[in-house]
């Protein structure tokens, strides 16, 4: 059965607080029936560290005030999971999905997000993988983490989502314990392509290519019939 069309918003660089408010509003609209389609927000954030519900004190060895002095915002949020970093060159995706139209199973939903990212990475010759006991996408035989995932669901409508490192500066990950995993090695699409000796791709072109691959992969993985603009859906819904 088709899940209908996926409403996609390509938003560019958005401050974290603004994106969080937009997610919450869209989730409320989806719950109330004012948003007729599942939506996927795709964007980047200025440097920010987010603390999920599962964050442990050991995952944030640097005090939030010191991070802020380095120009890195800090947010405590309602998503599952531990601490993570968002920054320029990272593709962040927020699926506002009504799981009642798919499957009311959080583990299924997390695995499908992983499937979509693995499918998107394959377009660039990168073997995305799962690592037993963890959520997210890895590569290199499970040695290097390339994407993090953390969601929140209320009345079977989701928000928050995934962060896929594309051309991201990976150095800020050293300021935290990403996802609470000691000694984790973070990587990116650009780094993996360089490791494989692939021809160089400009940052903008690579970012656009990965974003398009992710949209296609979400459509395929979740069984959507196609895509449409989120603005068009919101206008029809009277917002």
The pair phi, psi for residue 106, each rounded to 5°, is: -65, -40
Residues composing the chain: 239
pLDDT digits (tens, 9 = 90+) for 13-57: 999 999 999 999 999 999 999 999 999 999 999 999 999 999 999
Active-site entry in 41, 175, 179, 213: 179
Q: Rounded CA gap, 161 and 53, in Å?
A: 14
Give the torsion through C-alpha atoms of 10, 2, 37, 157, to 10 deg. -100
What pLDDT digit, counting tens, does each position of 126-182 carry? 999 999 999 999 999 999 999 999 999 999 999 999 999 999 999 999 999 999 998
pTM as predicted: 0.95
Asked if 179 is an active-site residue, the reply is: yes
Strands 226-229 and 5-13 turn out to be parallel
* Contact between residue 168 and residue 46 where contact means Cβ atoms under 8 Å apart: no
Burial label for 204, CB within 10 Å (0-12, 13-18, 19+), is exposed
- Give the pLDDT of residue 210: 98
Would you list the domain boundaries of the chain? 5-236
CATH class of 5-236: alpha beta
**d(C-alpha 132, C-alpha 129), whole Å:** 10
pLDDT of 1 > 60? The answer is no
């Amino acid at each position: 059965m088709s899940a209908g069309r996926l409403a996609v918003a390509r938003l560019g660089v958005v401050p974290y607080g603004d994106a969080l408010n937009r997610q919450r509003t869209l989730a409320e609209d989806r719950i109330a029936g004012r948003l007729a389609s599942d939506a996927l927000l795709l964007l980047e954030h200025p440097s920010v560290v987010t603390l999920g519900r599962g964050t442990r004190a050991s995952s944030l060895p640097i005090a939030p005030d010191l991070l802020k002095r380095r120009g890195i915002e800090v947010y405590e949020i309602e998503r599952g999971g531990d601490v993570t970093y968002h920054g320029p060159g990272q593709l962040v995706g927020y699926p506002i999905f009504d799981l009642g139209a798919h499957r009311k199973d959080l583990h299924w939903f997390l695995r499908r997000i992983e499937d979509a990212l693995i499918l998107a990475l394959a377009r660039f010759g990168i073997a995305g993988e799962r690592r037993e006991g963890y959520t997210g996408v890895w590569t290199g035989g499970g040695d290097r983490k390339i994407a993090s995932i953390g969601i929140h669901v209320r009345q079977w409508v989701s928000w928050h989502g995934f962060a896929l490192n594309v051309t991201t500066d990976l150095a800020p990950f050293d300021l935290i314990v990403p996802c609470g995993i000691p000694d984790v090695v973070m990587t990116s699409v650009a780094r993996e392509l360089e490791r494989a000796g692939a021809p160089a791709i400009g940052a903008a072109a690579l970012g656009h290519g990965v974003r398009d691959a992710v949209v296609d992969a979400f459509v395929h993985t979740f069984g959507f019939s196609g895509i449409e603009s989120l603005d068009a859906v919101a206008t029809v819904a009277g917002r």
